[in-house]
């Protein structure tokens, strides 16, 4: 159509360049800069912030391998991965049940899945703080089952994270299941597959694109999550997001915070590249 040319894209490019593209480049520069004497940073070049991730400086200035940040990074990856896997395992049956309802029920159930997502994140996490506390229903249930304190454990963080991100998994998985031809299930049964064989060999492979899309949508924000470790982890169980935040929050060590942010970004880029390759491979096969 005439009249609409590239100039319509200019505001979007300018906005993103000013708020993201240029700043992210600055973050890269800051991550190799010197730590400022009173917080902040001084321009320069050093790999010190990255070295700090692995080594700490001992009493006599010698470098000692120190796994404390690696543990945080490992915990972050483990929790994000666990969140993703649990979301997948939950989304499959739930999305399947929704997709096999009548058209009206389907709409209502989808609406119910999406609805809590609109409620403020902080309110949702706060609610779990109450539930998982020692007086809360969740906490008491856990104790009745013989568990100790539930709040301020990785388990509490995991519950909060799954709760926060599950709709991002259900929607794409639902879309994939919705597209499944019911005749395929019948064909599976017709060819002597039991229900579970059909599920394993027909449903799961065919909904794989939905699961993969959901995995990206859940994993990326889960890596950067801040509220769950701060509130449900009680600040003791640090994750990369909270680590970054403390480096900037107290104005303490900007270059180190920037370095961690870059590490997180590289992890995200790797995940996105793996996903892109998978998509390209699939296109090639089709």
Partner 1 sequence: MARGKAVEVYNVTKRFGDYQALDQVSFTIEENEFFTLLGPSGCGKTTLLRMIAGFETPSEGSISLFGAEIANLPPHKRRVNTVFQSYALFPHMTLAQNIAFGLENLGWDKARRTARVAEMLELVHMTPFAGRRPAQLSGGQRQRIALARALAPEPQVLLLDEPLSALDLKLRQAMRDELRSLQRKTGITFIFVTHDQDEALDMSDRICVLGQGQIQQIGTPTEIYEEPANRFVADFIGETNFMQVQVLSLEGDTADVRTPFGFDIIAGQKGITGPGPATLSVRPEKFVLGDQATENVLSGRIVSRNYMGGYTHYGIETQGAVLRVSRRNSTANAQGFELGREVSIGFPAAAARVLGA
Partner 2 sequence: MNTDIRHYPGARLITWVFFAWLYLPIAVVIWFSFNENRLVSVWTGFSTQWYDAALSNRALLDALRVSLIVAVIATVVATVVALMAAMVLTRTPGLKFRRLSETVVNLPLLLPEIVVAVAVLILVSQLGVTNGMVKLVLAHSAFCTPFAFLPIRARLQGMSADFEEAAQDLYATPWTAFRRVTLPLIAPGVFAGAMLAFAMSMDDFITSNMLNSGGTTTLPVYIFSLIKQGTTPELNAISTLLIVASLIIATLALSLSARAMRRG
- Contact residues toward partner 1 (CB under 8 A) are 1-3
Q: Which is nearer to partner 1, 3 or 11 (CB)?
A: 3
Q: How far is the CB of 4 from partner 1 (least distance, A)?
A: 12
Is the Cβ–Cβ distance between 141 and 65 less than 8 Å? no
Give CA–CA dist 269/250, Å, rounded: 28
Q: Which is nearer to partner 1, 4 or 192 (CB)?
A: 4
Please give the sequence-ordered ranges of beta strands (E in DSSP) within 49-100, or none if there are none.
55-57, 63-65
Q: Which is nearer to partner 1, 3 or 102 (CB)?
A: 3
Run of H or E residues at 35: strand 34-35
Q: How far is the CB of 1 from partner 1 (least distance, A)?
A: 8
Is the Cβ–Cβ distance between 184 and 202 less than 8 Å? yes
Residues found in the chain: 286
Q: Which is nearer to partner 2, 50 or 163 (CB)?
A: 163
Instruction: Output the CA angle 115-119-120, nearest 5 degrees.
Output: 155
Q: How far is the CB of 2 from partner 1 (least distance, A)?
A: 5
Q: Which is nearer to partner 1, 8 or 102 (CB)?
A: 8
Q: How far is the CB of 240 from partner 1 (least distance, A)?
A: 46
Closest CA to 241 of 228, 256, 257, 226: 226
DSSP 8-state assignment for residue 55: E
Q: Which does 127 bind (CB under 5 to 8 A by kind): partner 2, partner 1, none?
A: partner 2
Q: Which does 34 bind (CB under 5 to 8 A by kind): partner 1, partner 2, none?
A: none
Q: Which does 186 bind (CB under 5 to 8 A by kind): partner 2, partner 1, none?
A: partner 2
Q: How far is the CB of 63 from partner 2 (least distance, A)?
A: 26
Is the Cβ–Cβ distance between 254 and 36 less than 8 Å? yes
């Amino acid at each position: 159509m005439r009249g609409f040319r590239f100039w319509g894209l200019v505001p979007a490019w300018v906005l993103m360049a000013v708020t993201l593209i240029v700043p992210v480049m600055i973050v890269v520069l800051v991550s190799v800069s010197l730590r400022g004497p009173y917080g902040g940073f001084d321009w320069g070049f050093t790999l010190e912030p990255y070295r700090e991730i692995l080594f700490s400086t001992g009493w006599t200035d010698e470098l000692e391998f120190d796994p404390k940040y690696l543990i945080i990074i490992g915990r972050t990856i483990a929790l994000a991965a666990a969140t993703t896997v649990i979301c997948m395992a939950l989304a499959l049956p739930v999305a399947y049940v929704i997709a096999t309802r009548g058209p009206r029920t389907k709409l209502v159930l989808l609406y119910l899945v999406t609805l809590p997502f609109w409620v403020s994140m902080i309110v949702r996490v706060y609610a779990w703080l109450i539930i998982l506390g020692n007086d809360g229903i969740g906490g008491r249930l856990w104790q009745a089952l013989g568990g100790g304190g539930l709040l301020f454990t990785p388990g509490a963080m995991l519950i909060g994270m799954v709760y926060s991100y599950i709709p991002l998994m259900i929607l794409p998985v639902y879309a994939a299941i919705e597209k499944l031809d019911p005749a395929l299930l019948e064909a599976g049964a017709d060819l002597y597959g039991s229900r579970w064989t059909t599920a394993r060999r027909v449903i799961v492979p065919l909904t794989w694109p939905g699961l993969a899309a959901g995995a990206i949508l859940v994993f990326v924000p889960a890596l950067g999550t801040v509220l769950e470790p701060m509130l449900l982890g009680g600040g003791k169980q640090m994750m990369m997001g909270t680590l970054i935040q403390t480096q900037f929050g107290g104005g303490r060590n900007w270059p180190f915070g920037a370095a961690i942010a870059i590490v997180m970004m590289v992890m995200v880029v790797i995940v996105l590249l793996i996903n892109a390759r998978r998509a390209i491979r699939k296109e090639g096969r089709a």
